[in-house]
Structure 1
Amino acid sequence: MGGSASSSSAPVPVKSKTKISARQHREDRSDDEENPFRSSKVNGDIDLTEDDGDLEETQQKGTYWKYTSIEDIHRQDNEEEGDSDNADERKYEEEEVEEAEPASKRQRANTKLPRIINSTPKPVAKDLPRRKNGNATHSRRSSTQSSRYSTPPPERTPQQSDKISKQYSPYNPLRAIGCLQGKQSPPSKSISKIASAHFRVTLATQQAFPNGIDTIAFAKASFLEACKELGAEARRMRFEEVDLYSKTMITIVKRGTSQLRGELKSKAQLLVETNYGFLNIPAENIKEGIQDLLTLSAFLFEDPFEWKGAFRNPIILTLLVQQWFQDRKAEAAGIFSAQFNPIPDKLIALIATAVECALVDWESGTNSPDVNDLTSDKYSPVYAVPPLK
């Protein structure tokens, strides 16, 4: 007992100003936290002879036992905790600097962009380049056009200018020379073409050989109908008020009479030779056959020698199809189809007249088409003969 007490009370030299490394401090601290007085020095079990070398080495390094009381331990712990807190704060600040560095670089890279400092939104204005005159004109034009249809124009009462705008232009007398369709202005040319079609249909379905008065009446009615279809109000007014213009248009439209008759006879001439068997036979036999066919219009029967099947000879149907139903642009297949359904009797009479005119060309035994035309003076009586019963 006495030996242990003396050994425990023996003073241990301490050098309080000596600084030790952080690693040795942590090791000593861990041992002292378990029991700061559980040392062989306190229990008196120290072997002084064995630790003399260590003590001398420790003294040479300036590091040996540093605690003299419990207050020193607590004071040292508080200092170390403060040092560790300061180290953590410095580390955190360094991390913040590292994280903020890329943002600062991006900010320096985007110095030209507008910067909003306050949190509240503010309009950022930037001067735009000046528009060119062409673009500005185009933009104004486009905006004007777009706004034109956005709201309907206000209704206005007819003014004197409206009446003047509906007036026709004066007719050029040079266009009347020769009464040719090709010399007319585009509107008049279009009207005359449609008027000629109306006129031809009227001839075919109503009167193929009209007199002079009826011809002019048909031509006038056809021209006015064409103006109505095309909405050519100015040309209609000119036609009614300008005598030179009306005479020119009537002359152009009246030419449809000779055109229709000539087309129909030309087609009939090509069909007569094959339909009635005039191929490869002597001229005398052809002459006798023509006389038999023309007697009492025997050529109109399906069997000309037995007089059976009136108006059923194949040449009638063939001519009808070739002249008025050949294609989609044919007169009977277009806007005039109602006039051909059913087939008018006067149309059959016109076909029969054209066939008789073509047969007359063979009266001499040979074909002589130039001496016989389908004129009104010669064939109007033939056309007017009542149909056979």
Structure 2
Amino acid sequence: MSEEAASSAAMISMITESPTVTASTEHKICNASDYQIAARSLLPTPLYEYLASGTDDEQTLAENESAFKYWYLRPRVMRPVGSISTAVTLFGQKLALPVFISPAGVHALCDEVHGECASARAAQRAGTLFGLSQHATRSIEQVADACDAAQGRNANLWYQCYILKDRDMTLRLVRRAANAVIEVFPYSRLSSIWLSRSRRKEWMECLPEPHRLVNYDEEIANKPQSSESKKSSGLVQKQVHHDRRRCYRSCNAGADGVMVSNHGGRGLDGALAAIDALPEVVAAVGDKVPVLMDSGVRRGTDVLKALALGASAVGIGKPVFFALAVGGENAVVNLLQILQREVEAAMAICGVESVADAKRSLVTRHPNGGVTRYTRSKL
């Protein structure tokens, strides 16, 4: 196993003997945050902390969500909204909603039986994309086959590829994704340094054997002596900061898209919230390629704000894990449907009939907005 893979395997050693969970809980699920509340009461504390946490002081983790509160939507009345559509076309793929499941590893932490297959099928049922992480607990081929079996056709699957020191292994992983008819390959440029998490020591004291990162297992078992380099199609450059010059260079180098993300606050703490980084990236890229974003999206209003700021679609990560823990595949479908309904409602109130109509004039930013947020007690 490569150095990166071995390090990753050590980091995702987690409790697997969690209580049996179903969609039937004492919590009424009305929004994405309700799934996190329900999951917290069901999962072992170390596992929940691993899923919910960020790095260091968790500043970026918190600000990913709170930054949305400084952006305000402008309601617009007396406009025709009789045929609202949340549909979008992304890289030639038609989606029912502008929300996709971002690549994140080890879904078996929350669904030990089905792992990433459950999340991928849920995305397919909801009519959107599923990002398969290289650090998955189900192989590229297993996930593709699971989606084929669900609908008799290949789902809208993406594959996230880390650029390893072993370039031949990287190339073979990409080729396997291509052979499985996974059409778009988001690449991620990441540091090989693992940043600290304040409660990691507590978790590591009670962790059993790790889940296996099966894609690496298969690569090691079938590793050839040599292979030639080849550029793959469908390259999406993932930006983990808001450097407009790097985005511009990525597009000029042939990237088919740009993704704005800080890995849900699990990378560099103190990095800019993704929604605040989005406008600068959009300004740099222009209309050359689609711009995607994730990190902090929890509401349909968050989705609409991101669309108005220039995103073509947005991804969700942590909410998927919490839904998967609460009710498996069906809960993830429900999560996506909740977000779609929220987007539709926000579009209607803002006088927007289609995603393409969500323009920059739809949002305004007030620097003192988020500090006045009030949360009342709920029944």
More strand by share: 2
Higher relative contact order (CA 8 A, sep 6+): 2
Structure 1 length-normalised TM:
0.19
Q: Bigger radius of gyration, 1 or 2?
A: 1
Structure 2 length-normalised TM:
0.19
